[in-house]
Structure 1
Amino acid sequence: MMAAALTIDGIGVDFSGFKAVDGVSMVVEEGELRVLLGANGAGKTTLMDLVSGRTKATSGRVFLYDAEITNREENDIARAGLGRKFQIPSVFKELTVRRNLEVASCSSPSVFRNLRFGFTAKERARVDEVLALTGLGDAADRLAGNLSHGETQWLEIGILMVQDPKVLLLDEPTAGMTQAETLRTAAIINALKGRHTLLVVEHDMAFVREIAERITVMHLGQVLAEGDIAAIESDERVRAAYLGSKGILS
């Protein structure tokens, strides 16, 4: 029996009477890739904020494996094993691609050690592995500030990977990408299946079809439907909610 990597139990947040997320429950199994679908305003990013500690819940609980992480500080939740990639990448633009990954992979929190001393053989091997997986090997010695939009997104996914979190949250990882970049991102994420547990917020259905195992659809802050892509695309409630909505079932 698979272990539950992420358990969301009736989580909600009330902003002065507006329930942006309203009693959402979800279990993501270890090694699973779960896609979170929904139109703008459905509550997807707010749910990610609640899980990662960026927003404090007013109801419900969140567990990372057996550890409750509800309303803990973001850095505590990150140390517990949850990594998050936001829509807008955040990398050290003045450092090379390899250096970004080395700093992220270094087990010591000391910036002095990160920049002045060597890395362990294990850390170097992990950086090389991530460079290969993200397709950034040829760009390893380029400054991160000179990367294309897609390459910057891949570098940020790589930065998360070298930190080896138990659960990765990816918020619209293909936003602003070309079709070719989107397909390459799908290949990267597919390569992570089984090795990491992933929760991916996305609205690009072509991309979702490339990666999805199980989909949770949100609508007005609540879970509307859950299942594989065939079940979601044939679900009348989903069709009724998103009829004419760009990016969903289109």
Structure 2
Amino acid sequence: MPSSRSPYALGAVLLLLVAGCGGGDGDRDGAGEQRAGAAEVRQAAPPRDQVPAPPREIPGLGPKTRAEIPDEARQAVVVTGETRTSNRSTVKLYTRKDRAAGWRSVTGPWPAHNALRGWTDHHRQGDLKSPVGVFGLTDAGGLLPDPGTELPYDRGSAFTARGTGFEGEPLAGSFDYVVAINYNRRPGTTPLDWTRPLGAGRGGGVWLHVDHGGPTQGCVSLPKARMKELLRTLDPAAEPVVVMGDVEALGR
């Protein structure tokens, strides 16, 4: 039986079939390839929640200062001087589980004093400036009994402080608690050990100690309660360091 369908209708059906199988003209072929390529890129990119976050850095430290912190250090006492010539500073303690996780603040900020004339990159005996740098914290001591520190603690009357400070304040009690800063000293000895590996001219005897209400000769001083807290927090297994200097120097 002859079909009643129009030849024009049959032609249209044939055109649709041809277009569907053939994929259209060259421009359409290119667009299809681009879409396929984009899909492959999207599939290759890892999900955002799988991209590891960068380690948290200690605020205010520049690349040079960060590079001086030993890889094994997991505690850092950061002393930030207000200016190059200021004798006032702040102290914060940071810890990290490992390098990948980065640092987090656990105590502070605490008010502190540093040397009368501020900071120096090349400390000399009697210059009345605190040394800039990153130094180990391995040994402690004081006039008062051990408050519960894990650091080796040397107690004795040799830690008695006498006289007055630069502003006429009494120095009594300044060495009730001290932590030796490993600048020009032999680690693993009492803070009272006066061995000077760099020579006597480069100074030494730089400590964290109890604040007496005024500038120091080169040390960093903290309120007594804060020194006691610091001693209880420092852990030799975490290989603690002090990172100290004026804000500009630390930012290098």
Which structure is higher in RCO with an 8 Å CA cutoff and minimum separation 6?
1
Normalising by the smaller structure, the TM-score range is: under 0.3
Choose 1 or 2 for highest CA Rg.
Answer: 2
Give TM-score scaled by structure 1 length.
Answer: 0.25
Name the structure with the higher helix share: 1
Give TM-score scaled by structure 2 length.
Answer: 0.24
